[in-house]
Amino acid sequence: MKVSVDNKDLFTLSETQKKVIKNDIHEEIFDDDMKRRLQWVLMHKYERCFMRLKQEWEPKLRQAGVAMIPTDPDAFAEMVFTHPSYKSRSTREPYVG
């Protein structure tokens, strides 16, 4: 099993690694289960990041006089990202790696 993002291979499970996992997971659902787990990891990361974005920005938007704060997550995020005082993580804290 190979995991790719934007056509770049990130991770490959060896046959032995797959067999170890299949010791716990039915072989018939292995591929679907691995996809479900990867989706969960990414969605969980998104949900936690969105929660922090909302906790930080709802008060800022209210203080800025915004009367209608969207309840739709995408609309809320776009409102934040287009706000004049929004700065991305890279702008707030330059990466030193």
Interval 10-34: pLDDT, tens: 888 999 999 999 999 999 999 999 9
CA dihedral 78, 82, 86, 91 (to 10 degrees): 90
The answer as to whether 46 is a domain residue is yes
pLDDT of residue 4: 80
* pLDDT tier at 2, thresholds 50, 70, 90: confident
pLDDT of residue 3: 81
**4 Cβ contact partners less than 8 Å away, ≥ 6 residues apart:** 10
Query: Is the confidence at residue 83, as pLDDT, over 90?
Result: yes
The Cα 93–Cα 95 span in angstroms is 6
Structural domain boundaries enclosing 8: 2-92
The Cα 73–Cα 51 span in angstroms is 10
Q: What average pLDDT score do residues 45-51 get?
A: 98
Regarding pTM above 0.85, the answer is no
The answer as to whether 77 is a domain residue is yes
Residue type, 50: F
Number of domains the chain is built from: 1
Work out the number of other CB atoms within 10 angstroms of the CB of residue 33: 15
* pLDDT tier at 1, thresholds 50, 70, 90: confident
**3-class secondary structure, 4:** strand
The answer as to whether 97 is a domain residue is no
